[in-house]
Structure 1
Amino acid sequence: MNVFVHFRSCSRDYGGIMSVLGSDSWWKKTLYITGGALLAAAAYLLHELLAIRKEQELDSKDAIILHQFSRPKNGVPSLSPFCLKIETYLRMVDLPYQNYFDGKLSPQGKMPWIEYNHEQASGSEFIVDFLEEKLGVNLNKNLTPQERAVSRAVTKMVEEHLYWTIAYCQWVDNLEETQKLLAMSGPLSDTLKWLLSHLNGSMVRREMYGHGIGRFSKEEVYALMEKDMRTLATLLGDKKYFMGSKMSTLDATVFGHLAQAMWTLPGTRPEQLIKGELINLAMFCERMRRRFWPEWFVEVEDLYYDGDSESSSGGSPTGQLDFGLFSRTDTLDDSDGSSQSAGHSHTNSPDSDHSLFDSDVGTGSDNDIQLKEELMPDLEV
Structure 2
Amino acid sequence: MQWRAGFASSRAFVVDLGRNRSLPVPFGLPADERHSVSGCVVALPLQDCGGIMSGLVAETWWRRTLYLTGGALLAAAAYLLYELLAIRKEQQLDSKDAIILHQFTRPKNGVPSLSPFCLKMETYLRMVDLPYQNYFDGSLSPQSTMPWIEYNHECVSGTEFIIDFLEEKLGVSLNKKLSGPELAVARAITKMVEEHLYWAIVYCQWVENVEQTEKMLEVPGPLSDVLKWTLCQLNGGLVKREMFCQGIGRFSRDEIYTLMERDMRTLATLLGDKKYLMGSKVSSVDAAVFGHLAQAMWTLPGSRPEQLIKGELINLAMYCERIRRKFWPEWFVDVDDFCSDGESDSSEGTPTNLMDCSLFSLTDALADSAGSSPTHTHSPDSDRSGRSLSDSDIEVDGSDSEQQGKG
Structure 1 counterpart of 2:355, which letter?
A: F
Bigger proportion of residues as strand: 2
Q: Does 1:47 align with 2:81?
A: yes
User: Of the candidates 329, 336, 351, which is equivalent to residue 362 of structure 2?
Assistant: 329
Residues of 1 paired with 2:310 and 2:334: CA distance? 14
Structure 1 counterpart of 2:280, which letter?
A: S
Shift in Å, 1:352 = 6.2
Structure 1 counterpart of 2:363, which letter?
A: D
CA RMSD of aligned residues (A): 3.2
Residues of 2 paired with 1:368 and 1:119: CA distance? 47
1:12-31: CA deviation from partner (whole Å, max 9, x where unpaired) = xxxxxxxxx99799957777
Residues of 1 paired with 2:226 and 2:71: CA distance? 17
Shift in Å, 1:129 = 0.6
SS in 2 for 1:99: strand
Structure scoring higher RCO (CA < 8 A, sep ≥ 6) equals 1
State how 1:351-366 maps to structure 2 within 5 Å.
Answer: 351=371
Q: How many residues are matched? A: 330
Q: Does 1:160 align with 2:198?
A: no
2:229 maps to 194
Residues of 2 paired with 1:194 and 1:272: CA distance? 26
2:37 maps to none
Q: Rate the CA distance shift 1:29–1:149 in 2: closer, same or farther, 3 A.
A: same
Gaps of 5+ in 1: 1-20, 333-345, 373-381
Higher Cα Rg, which structure: 2
SS in 1 for 2:307: helix
Poorly superposed stretches of 4+, deviation over 3 Å = 21-40, 312-316, 318-322, 346-350
Residues of 2 paired with 1:315 and 1:48: CA distance? 24
Shift in Å, 1:314 = 7.6
Residues of 1 paired with 2:357 and 2:212: CA distance? 27
Query: Is the Cα contact below 8 Å between 2:96 and 2:153 reproduced in 1?
Result: yes
Gaps of 5+ in 2: 1-12, 17-55, 391-407
SS in 1 for 2:371: coil
Shift in Å, 1:317 = 2.3
Shift in Å, 1:117 = 0.1
Residues of 2 paired with 1:352 and 1:259: CA distance? 27
Shift in Å, 1:143 = 0.4
Shift in Å, 1:48 = 2.0
TM-score of the pair, normalised by structure 1: 0.79
Residues of 1 paired with 2:132 and 2:175: CA distance? 21
Query: Is the Cα contact below 8 Å between 2:112 and 2:354 reproduced in 1?
Result: no
Q: Does 1:114 align with 2:146?
A: no
Structure 1 counterpart of 2:84, which letter?
A: L
User: Of the candidates 286, 290, 309, which is equivalent to residue 274 of structure 1?
Assistant: 309
2:349 maps to 317
Query: Is the Cα contact below 8 Å between 1:259 and 1:285 reproduced in 2?
Result: yes
Residues of 1 paired with 2:113 and 2:347: CA distance? 18
SS in 2 for 1:121: strand
Q: Rate the CA distance shift 1:108–1:170 in 2: closer, same or farther, 3 A.
A: same
1:123-168: CA deviation from partner (whole Å, max 9, x where unpaired) = 1111101101111101011100000011111100000000000100
Residues of 2 paired with 1:79 and 1:105: CA distance? 16
TM-score of the pair, normalised by structure 2: 0.74
Q: Rate the CA distance shift 1:302–1:52 in 2: closer, same or farther, 3 A.
A: farther
Q: Rate the CA distance shift 1:110–1:235 in 2: closer, same or farther, 3 A.
A: same
SS in 2 for 1:330: helix
Residues of 1 paired with 2:315 and 2:185: CA distance? 20
| Mean Cα deviation higher: 176-185 or 94-103 | 176-185
Shift in Å, 1:71 = 0.2
Shift in Å, 1:184 = 1.7
Q: Does 1:371 align with 2:405?
A: no
Residues of 2 paired with 1:22 and 1:288: CA distance? 66
Query: Is the Cα contact below 8 Å between 1:114 and 1:121 reproduced in 2?
Result: yes
Q: Rate the CA distance shift 1:23–1:255 in 2: closer, same or farther, 3 A.
A: farther
Residues of 2 paired with 1:314 and 1:93: CA distance? 31
Residues of 1 paired with 2:67 and 2:214: CA distance? 28
Residues of 1 paired with 2:125 and 2:329: CA distance? 15
User: Of the candidates 315, 319, 326, which is equivalent to residue 284 of structure 1?
Assistant: 319
User: Of the candidates 121, 124, 135, which is equivalent to residue 170 of structure 2?
Assistant: 135
Query: Is the Cα contact below 8 Å between 1:301 and 1:315 reproduced in 2?
Result: no
Query: Is the Cα contact below 8 Å between 2:140 and 2:146 reproduced in 1?
Result: yes
Q: Does 1:254 align with 2:286?
A: no
State how 1:1-381 maps to structure 2 within 5 Å.
Answer: 27=60, 37-51=71-85, 54-55=88-89, 56-305=91-340, 308-310=341-343, 312-313=344-345, 317=349, 319=351, 321-326=353-358, 327-330=360-363, 350-351=370-371, 369-371=387-389
1:181-234: CA deviation from partner (whole Å, max 9, x where unpaired) = 001233211111100111110100010010010011110000000000000000
Shift in Å, 1:321 = 4.2
